[in-house]
Chain A
């Protein structure tokens, strides 16, 4: 176990290093990427640009720039080229918003995914199952920016049932906080509900054909108990692990569109804006944060898998 976690930590350092180098290089080779040029404002003189370049060290070799930027990012001292604000503080400010959105959506899609998936499996082949399949497909196919805009326009703007975007901190008003999160969470969850319900449906159907389910019936258990204690228990193991991975991916940037559509001002939206401005320090910091989160959740998922399924050993081959 310790060995496994230690191994994952080493792996994480390698991943973060690779990701940071790639990100840094990409933003230094794309055209129009000279930050000094853009920081100097409209029609600057050559002297001004040179001064900025020397000031910020943009004239030094790339490797030196990389090391310095990384020192700043990891030390929490990175400053945005354009807003001049501390990157770490910006991320920390956005993090609760992104986490609230991701967690809310993840719970929604898990609950509805399981419920609809089990329903589909129990009614496999009947009309209700076909309808569920249709809606699942529709949900997976709807683009977030379209669905979000439609929901926000009708339910928010036109009918006034929900706030039209924005975010209220939990500390300010828990009720308003939840109220503001309903639409964004639902929008983000729709995409996953379709996918998860299909997965749960096929897993449940597979498990119902297993010999041990026949044994459970032969023991005289009620159908309800057979379903809960034997079928679901086994068919949800892969779903739970996938859920961990998807949650990580959403926090690490998968919610960018939703955050932007509903103006949540979370980490994803911050990343999107920074990318638009070719602002290297925040992009680097957010990318590293995302990569860290994904690798960390991967590790958690692997450990959870071993806890849920006794046949799997952590780090076993």
Chain B
């Protein structure tokens, strides 16, 4: 093995706390990255992996953080180096790619200018020359045509394009070390596959070392040569990727690997014929359409003639990339919006144009659990009060509501005592449980789950899936699960509907769709699911 490019030894980061003793976020991390090597630093949120990366490059800011230990880049010590020296390395030798490309790019500066700025910060280059190089870089990473795209603002690019642009920026000064902090977490699976492939190609072509920070063992299996698993600021296990997958030494590593939903294993069999509970017939929804004084303006079709049904006690997965119209269709199903065409029926009753009181039965029997458990609970309301409100809205008296809140929280695996907590005092998984408890308050017959897992840590995902499964068996609740993650879908869905460009391109039993997709788009989605084991890599990648 060649000389390490990055050699981190006993790195420790401590934050001064406003009250109480300082918090140790990183406690003695040692790892190395060789040229041309991809080392994955894996762990769940809060384990200290991002702090490690920021500490290496001096981006933690002065004051709050105490950094100890050693980190040598190409023989030069980074810990305690003057800011001026670190700045010269940043961008030029050590480049970074962050999680959310939308928030990580300056919204009011053209993409090309943002890349050119970095080129000019690290070498003599005229504005025009730098812009030309920026355009060429964009071409390189597949944001084509680069000359034109470089004039775009970040919001004018798709999520995948934006992350590619971030990567182009990172590569602009030919760095020898790339630190990628959750580079695909904010992306769709198909886009994730493309971005991972891109990072892989770059490593081959430029021979740069890559420190890949992720919480997802699927991403690790796809790309990493070596793995370091991090928990509570410490590295619990480190080794070659195959070794770690085949024989994880630490139980925590085992748990993380097991949490990767496997694309293998039998899908659920479809339920025997049942009467449909929710029926959506040829639903059309257009955004931006308006009827003015001078004729009508057609809007963008978000949903285009979608037909779907969910039976009692059944789980139907609605699958597709972001922007495919699945959330819009779900909003129409819950009658949060009025469709422009088609028919919505629930338990045999037509709700397509129902208003106010007419909607009451639907509002009671159909509930939604949202993706982001942080954003969907009122931060100024205690958890119990949020759940109680859902009960009170259904006419339950104050005293009974309070008693029921305890029951509901217990039903979703929390304790009655959690009712007095504020949302910010709960973990992501606990918050999502509260969201589910709130949805259960009115004894719904159908719950729409809009990406209920994607904001959660991998080990928590399994627990929530189990909870949902238990509730279905016990109470016969039907689920309409919206997801872009086919592996999760395979675990829970009886039937699957694939959505693309506002249309439902394929519907069928989970077994049929996942084993023999008829639509090319479905096949593409399936191919994009990360490998469960590094040895499956080649089979999945083109």
Contacts and interface: CB of A to CB of B under 8 A. Distances in A.
Nearest to B89: A220
B56 to A, nearest CB: 11
Contacts of B2: none
Contacts of A225: 117, 121
B125 interface: no
Interface stretch (A34-42, A84-92, A131-139, A211-219): A211-219
B389 to A, nearest CB: 31
Give the most central of A216, A218, A220, A310: most B CB within 10 Å: A218
Nearest to A217: B59
B106 interface: yes
A233 B105 contact: no
Contacts of B109: 229-230, 233
Given A211-B104, A234-B107, A220 B98 contact: no
Interface in B110-125: 117-118, 121-122
Contact of B105 (A215, A222, A310): A215
A65 B156 CA distance: 56
A219 B106 CA distance: 12
Contacts of B106: 212, 215-216, 230, 233-234
B61 to A, nearest CB: 9
B247 interface: no
Contacts of A311: 107-108, 153, 155
Contacts of B104: 211-212, 214-215
Given A212-B103, A309-B108, A219 B121 contact: yes
B471 to A, nearest CB: 37
Given A212-B105, A311-B155, A220 B122 contact: yes
Give the most central of A216, A225, A311: most B CB within 10 Å: A216
- Chain A's interface: helix, strand, loop or mixed, by majority? helix
A60 interface: no
Contacts of A233: 106, 108-109
A210 interface: yes
Interface in A45-98: none
A201 B21 CA distance: 30
Nearest to A229: B117
A118 B153 CA distance: 26
Give the most central of A215, A216, A222, A310: most B CB within 10 Å: A215
A222 B155 contact: no
A221 interface: yes
Interface string A216-253: 11111110010001100110010000000000000000
B405 to A, nearest CB: 36
B169 A210 contact: no
A219 B105 contact: no
A208 to B, nearest CB: 10
A139 to B, nearest CB: 30
B108 A211 contact: no
Interface in B75-114: 87-92, 95-96, 98, 100, 103-109
Contacts of A12: none
A212 B92 contact: no
Nearest to B110: A310
Contacts of A216: 106
Contact of B92 (A214, A220, A229, A310): A220
Interface string A298-312: 000000000011110
Contacts of B169: 215, 219
Contacts of B92: 220
Interface residues of A, number: 22
Contacts, number: 77
Interface size range of chain B in the complex = 20 to 34
Interface in B57-74: 57, 59
A214 B107 contact: no
Contacts of A222: 87, 121
A73 B137 CA distance: 63
A298 B59 CA distance: 41
Contact of B121 (A221, A230, A237, A308): A221
Given A221-B121, A233-B106, A233-B109, A215 B98 contact: yes
Contacts of A217: 59, 90
Contact of A218 (B57, B100, B107, B108): B57
A209 to B, nearest CB: 10
B105 A220 contact: no
B79 to A, nearest CB: 17
Contact of A214 (B88, B91, B98, B121): B98
A212 B96 contact: no
A211 to B, nearest CB: 4
Contacts of B100: 211
Nearest to B118: A219
B147 to A, nearest CB: 19
A183 to B, nearest CB: 38
Contacts of A215: 96, 98, 104-106, 166, 169
Given A219-B118, A222-B87, A309 B98 contact: no
Give the most central of A214, A220, A311: most B CB within 10 Å: A220
A222 B153 CA distance: 23
Contacts of A230: 106, 109
Given A214-B98, A217-B90, A309 B117 contact: no
A237 to B, nearest CB: 7
A233 B95 CA distance: 24
Nearest to A311: B155
Contact of A237 (B89, B108, B153, B156): B108
A130 B91 CA distance: 36
A229 B120 CA distance: 14
A222 B117 CA distance: 11
Contact of A212 (B107, B118, B153): B107
B91 A218 contact: yes
**A-B pairs with the 6 shortest C-beta distances?**
A220-B91, A220-B90, A211-B103, A219-B91, A219-B118, A218-B96
Given A218-B98, A310-B153, 4 more contacts: A212-B103, A218-B57, A229-B109, A233-B109
12 contacts: A211-B104, A215-B169, A216-B106, A220-B91, A221-B91, A222-B87, A229-B109, A234-B107, A234-B108, A308-B108, A311-B153, A311-B155
